[in-house]
Homo-oligomer: A and B are copies of this chain.
Amino acid sequence: MLIGGIEAGGTKFICGIGNEKGEILESISFPTEAPDLTLEKCIAFFKDKAVEAIGVGTFGPINLERDSSHYGFITTTPKEGWANFDFLGTLKKEFQIPMGWDTDVNAAALGESRWGAAKGLSSCIYFTIGTGIGMGALIEGNLIHGLVHPEAGHLSVRSHEKDDFRGICPFHGDCLEGMASGPAIEKRWNLKGYDIPKNHPAWDLEAYYISRAVTGAILMLSPKKIILGGGVMNQHHLFPMIRKQVQQELNQYINAEDIIFGIDDYIVPPGLGSRAGLCGALALGMDAIKNHMTFTE
């Protein structure tokens, strides 16, 4: 079976073809431009590829209400041209096949639960920490949607006592994204992340803020695995710092072996590496076939 996947980011798109084992057989990547132009490239890629379904994991916010007339739309993004764009409808005009649709981070959480670090688990959380910060969550086997979808990048976090930076979020100033995204690190230290040495205090602050979000996710959602991806997390020395900080903050209140004794296997990088998002899009496509069969039985 061949399935198509689109990982739609604010900066670049990745389109790929894969199979039900999560193997990517072919993929291309191109910069995100105006929506019509960008979608044309997607359509050209999938044309004549005979995929049985397409899954889309995309930047947002997006409409996920199946009975809304705007299901499949990007909604209120400040990204020029993309607000109120009928993403899924544009694809459906070209391909009459089942389609999956979710946020990029929910897709990554799904991909990791299918083939990656959370394989076989009924719950996991995926944080991406890069240009922005986002969170996807699989809980009791389902991706979380509700009023909208999680927007945990904008969590309020308590500022570190040694940090007088005010943050860069245009909505909230010093929320998680305002304090700990890649651009926030760059603005605070006037250095690019990859130019900052490992023993620099920048990383203590970064581990502090990320651990606040991780601890919050544990207390709110109680996931069986926490996966941290995105450009900032390529700084692998952050992992042990975050794990230690999370243990200190929880202070053994959550009496779970995974946290107290097994935290090295509990807070982990993506098992699928940089393919988490695209594999997740494949998984969305596979699930769309399953749901389609259920609806038409």
Residues of A at under 8 Å CB distance from B? 61, 75-76, 122-123, 135, 137, 139-152, 154-159, 171-172, 212, 215-224, 249-256, 258-259
B221 and A146 within 8 A (CB): yes
Chain A binding surface, main DSSP class: loop
A139 CB contact (under 8 Å) in B76, B146, B158: B146
Residues of B within 8 A of A144 (CB): 139-140, 221-222
**Distance A259 CA – B148 CA, assembled complex (angstroms):** 11
Residues of B within 8 A of A220 (CB): 135, 137, 150, 152, 155, 216-217, 220-221
A158 CB contact (under 8 Å) in B157, B171, B222, B258: B157
Residues of B within 8 A of A149 (CB): 222
Contacts A140-B139, A156-B212 hold; do A223 and B253 have CB atoms under 8 A apart?
no
B255 and A147 within 8 A (CB): no
Q: Which residue of B lies closest to A225 (CB)?
A: B147
Which one of A75, A144, A256 has the greatest number of beta carbons of chain B within 10 Å? A144
Smallest beta-carbon distance A179→chain B, Å: 12
**Distance A151 CA – B135 CA, assembled complex (angstroms):** 19
Which one of A75, A140, A147, A216 has the greatest number of beta carbons of chain B within 10 Å? A147
Residues of B within 8 A of A75 (CB): 255
Q: How many copies of this kind of chain does the complex include?
A: 2
Q: Which residue of B lies closest to A259 (CB)?
A: B147
A147 CB contact (under 8 Å) in B150, B158, B256: B256
A151 and B254 within 8 A (CB): yes
Residues of B within 8 A of A122 (CB): 146
Contacts A157-B158, A251-B171 hold; do A223 and B76 have CB atoms under 8 A apart?
no
Contacts A145-B140, A146-B139 hold; do A154 and B221 have CB atoms under 8 A apart?
no
Residues of B within 8 A of A171 (CB): 251-253
Contacts A216-B156, A222-B145, A224-B147 hold; do A61 and B255 have CB atoms under 8 A apart?
yes
**Distance A197 CA – B202 CA, assembled complex (angstroms):** 46
Smallest beta-carbon distance A246→chain B, Å: 11
B259 and A219 within 8 A (CB): no
**Distance A285 CA – B51 CA, assembled complex (angstroms):** 45
Residues of B within 8 A of A215 (CB): 156
